[in-house]
Amino acid sequence: MKAIVLLLDSVNRHYLSAYGASGIATPNLDRLAEKSAIFTNHWSGSLPCMPARRDMMTGRLGFLERNWGPIEPFDHTLPQILRDNGVFSHIATDHYHYFRVGGENYCQQFDTWDFIRGQELDSWVSRVSQPEKPEQIGKFMPQYALNRTQFHSEEDYSSPKTIQSALNWLEDNREEDNYLLWVEAFDPHEPFDLPDSELDDYEDDYEGPSYYWPEYGQVNVPDDALKHIRKRYAALLTMTDRSVGKLLDVMDRRGMWDDTLLIFTSDHGYLLGEHDFMAKNIMPAYNEIAHIPLMVHLPGSKHAGKRIDALTQNIDVFPTLLEHFGVDISCARNKLHGKSWLPLIRGEAAAIRDCALYGYFGKNVNVTDGEYTYFRASSQEDNSPINLYTAMPTTIGHYYGLNHIIDPSRIEIGPFLKWTDFPVYKIPGDNVQMKDQTQSFHVNSTFIREHLLFHNIDDYGQNHPIHDKEAEQRMLELLRKALEDHDSPDEQYLRLGLE
């Protein structure tokens, strides 16, 4: 048995032809869609990048317990279980967060890994003197300015090199069986950097200052720059799609469609001016961010073209792969929140959950039943009570150490989590630095202080909150049940006013 997971970061579902988009060239993802079951009601879980990956590798939602962080020592991961059952795993990635503080132990779960350098703030090109900011708008990051000096043609960029790394691995292992190949490209995540020629097909006529890296927050650029950055995103998605095509070509040549499961999804989407916001993280987790693509190809192209409306999430990657490889789910030491997609594809089940729960640690907790979506904000002005539980006190780019104004006397240690007896640090939420190094926002942002209810069918763009007490009460009950099912710490009920 063979399986490939193709994970592209920040793919907007509404930019893909398989989900009704037009004007965006993704011919190779279209090819994949023709050979796959297409899931129409697929949702993120923990947000953003690294929390989403921990979800996938553990089969559990983590955002109720902690923020961006590493694989914990008590996590029983998918690659571990596969290895114990005779299945080899390899990851090819340019997602540099795996190799920063706060991203420990992910790639090391796999039997082997290949890391392609140069994305975003990857400490790759080394110069003592830092470059000066040129005339441009948006973010300027000196390290990336150095990295991009090495990008001259499409083949030099790190995501195309990542796909090529995966192809090299397939060539080296062309006679092998019983493996999982995890192919993970950072693009089309920002910065939306690519050869200028890639913009030709999108008739870009922008003449303003250089703009390839949006700032997170409310839109703060002129209309022509906003139009330009949308075209840069689309062009980068098209360039990434071209690399995906090389992977599909290999599957064509070797007849791998007959014996390989292939999963394509993303971790989250990305706002490009919708709701007057750019990017993610500081605003509610609107559909553009949380409603993501999923295509699953079964060996032999069984059920190709089938559209599945059942609610699914990325925590389901784990049990789906276990079932594909014939590994009993009882091998997982920790209770899984995910459910296999295979019964849905085969028509043996109409649903695997009655709602999808998703969000960021310490922010709104969001729930959808497919028809309605409810954003539940903290009921407390100070966003309390909230605790961070971890056995590895690191987060994006730094440790929770003395240099980050933390009071050690307020930290407790003990078996505080409901689902594991492993002792963890219990750190009060107001005792940790909740900002990363590049984004000056706090978890208690003014943009996420309201409870919001939307009707997904009548208002998919979520532009018109509704006031329906009966529907809100029903979503509250779903939320309470979902918190219980996902082993939520008790203080979340208090924080959300659900006690």
- Averages of pLDDT over runs of 10 residues in the chain (499 residues) are 98 98 97 98 98 98 97 98 98 97 97 98 97 95 97 97 98 97 98 96 96 96 98 98 98 98 98 97 96 98 96 98 97 97 98 98 96 96 92 90 73 97 93 48 72 97 98 98 98 95
| Nearest alpha carbon to residue 446 among 383, 373, 360 | 383
Per-residue confidence (pLDDT) for residue 443, from 0 to 100: 58
Q: Where are the beta strands (DSSP E) in 190-259?
A: 217-218
Other CB atoms within a 10 A radius of the CB of residue 182 amount to 26
The residue whose two tokens read 């503080």 is 101
Contact 72, 328 (CB under 8 A): no
468: left (phi over 0), alpha (psi -120 to 50) or beta: beta
Spatial separation of the C-alpha atoms in residues 118 and 27, rounded to whole Å: 27
Per-residue confidence (pLDDT) for residue 440, from 0 to 100: 37
215 — phi, psi (to 5°)? -85, 145
> Token pair for residue 305?
């073209």
Spatial separation of the C-alpha atoms in residues 106 and 86, rounded to whole Å: 20
Spatial separation of the C-alpha atoms in residues 81 and 93, rounded to whole Å: 21
Fold for the domain defined by 2-346: Alkaline Phosphatase, subunit A (3.40.720)
Spatial separation of the C-alpha atoms in residues 388 and 52, rounded to whole Å: 17
Q: Which amino acid is at 329?
A: I
Residue-range domain boundaries for the chain: 2-346, 356-495
| Nearest alpha carbon to residue 6 among 31, 41, 40 | 31
| Nearest alpha carbon to residue 144 among 107, 189, 113, 185 | 189
Per-residue confidence (pLDDT) for residue 16, from 0 to 100: 98
| Cis-peptide into 142, omega within 30 deg | no
**Helix 27-34 and helix 223-254, axial crossing angle in degrees, nearest 10:** 50
Per-residue confidence (pLDDT) for residue 439, from 0 to 100: 38
The residue whose two tokens read 């930290």 is 411
* Largest Cα–Cα separation, the chain: 62
